[in-house]
Amino acid sequence: MIRLEALIGLNMFCDIGSARLKKLLNYFEKPENILKAPCEKLMGVSGIGKEIARKVTSLKEKDIDEELDLAKKYNLKIITVDDKEYPENLKQIYDPPIVLYVKGELKDEDRLSVAIVGSRRASFYGLSCAEKFAADLSERNFTIISGLARGIDTSAHRGALKQGGRTIAVIGSGFRHLYPAENKELAEEISRCGAVISEFPINAKPLSQNFPRRNRVISGLSLGVLVVEAARNSGALITADCALEQGRDVFALPGKIDSGNSFGTNGLIKQGAKLVSCADDIIEEFNIPVTANLNKKDLKETNSGSRSYLSGNESLLYNLISDQPVLLDEIAQNTSIGIPEISRILLKLEIHKLIRQLPGKQFIRTTV
């Protein structure tokens, strides 16, 4: 059994999670060894009780083979947190999914992304705003992340697609039980212009407990989350909470004070979320220049020393990168800046076309 198969098998028991997996790997070193271990040894690992140990030992290779066959049937690619294709933004959160099932294609450019979420029972105002924000952000090369749900999510995906942009749908079920059923055609369209992804095994049903887990992935993929409309107990507020825990920005669209759908967004604004009325309000918060496509002359001038727009930390990181590839870990070792902030700055330098990323999280200065 190879590492990928072992991780797929472990992921089929959704109560393990990445935190427990780390503890198991610290003890057993390889995921293949975890599946071979007896109950007694598994229970010797902190956080692994009798029930989880029993489930792990009950897993058979034929279960994994069946899952792989289903992946082929549904035309899915399975990637793990170890793979270079795994989204960089998502990898930085506390509990990234062990495995992602992907229909479509994830791209490095998806790091520049904003999530748009909100009520399933949205008003016409909310639906039209979600579509417009998604279209405007797509025009500025942002990937739109949402959850394929009815209402705001659907409008956000459609806004990106109408603009010819990229969008990623994160679902709270396995691909065999895509929810809601009426969005199956939309999911197919998204997979051709972006990706539909899930951390849940292919046969997993859309159970209520799955959606808070899905919401942390929506925010984890994004630089920030825009909440368009949200009632008092809306799941969109869970996504906003996840975003704050992950160090992401939270934006909210103000609404009428007598509207139930505005309770959540107006409440977020009271608590410090940024009130927005247009896409530029979001873009300026990231301090990333996304509107200008530098031509060759501009790029030469930029690389030749006209970098006054860079902050102190941005200049520091740029100066740590040369015409020889340097690893992300090496950059981090030479600064006191945290990895999430380093990733944000490196993304800005890439957008400026000052550096480019090579495979294996290596960075190099651009040459013209």
Write down the pTM of the prediction. Answer: 0.78
Q: Give the full edge-to-edge strand order of the sheet including 99-104.
A: 77-80, 99-104, 194-198, 167-170, 143-146, 113-117, 224-227, 249-252, 274-275
Q: Where do we find the tokens 């959160």?
A: 93
Mean pLDDT of the chain: 88
Q: What is the mean pLDDT of residues 33-37?
A: 90
d(CA 118, CA 122): 8
The CATH number assigned to the domain with range 296-365 reads 1.10.10.10
Domain range annotation of the chain: 3-73, 103-286, 296-365
Q: How confident is the model at residue 261 (pLDDT cuts 50, 70, 90)?
A: confident
pLDDT digits (tens, 9 = 90+) for 60-94: 889 899 999 999 999 999 999 889 899 999 998 98
What is the C-alpha to C-alpha distance for residues 137 and 278, in angstroms, rounded to an integer? 9
- With 70 as the cut, is the pLDDT of residue 293 above it? no
Instruction: Specify the pLDDT at position 304.
Output: 40
Residues forming a β-bridge with 99: 80
Determine the average pLDDT of the residues in 170-184: 95
Confidence of residue 115 (pLDDT cuts 50, 70, 90): very high
Reduce the DSSP state of residue 201 to 3 states and report it: coil
pLDDT tens, position by position, 299-325: 344 444 445 557 778 888 888 998 888
Q: Which CATH class is domain 3-73?
A: mainly alpha
137 with 106: CB under 8 angstroms? no
For the cut 90, the answer to whether the pLDDT of residue 240 exceeds it is yes
Strands 113-117, 167-170: pairing is unpaired
Q: How far apart are CA 145 and CA 190, in angstroms?
A: 11
In this structure, the number of other CB atoms found within 10 A of the CB of residue 274 comes to 16
- The CATH number assigned to the domain with range 103-286 reads 3.40.50.450
pLDDT of residue 222: 97
pLDDT of residue 356: 83
> Judging by DSSP bridges, how do beta strands 274-275 and 249-252 pair with one another?
parallel
Confidence (pLDDT) at 14: 55
Could you give the CA distance from residue 133 to residue 159 in angstroms, rounded to a whole number? Answer: 8
Q: How far apart are CA 335 and CA 317, in angstroms?
A: 8
Where do we find the tokens 């990937």?
Answer: 143
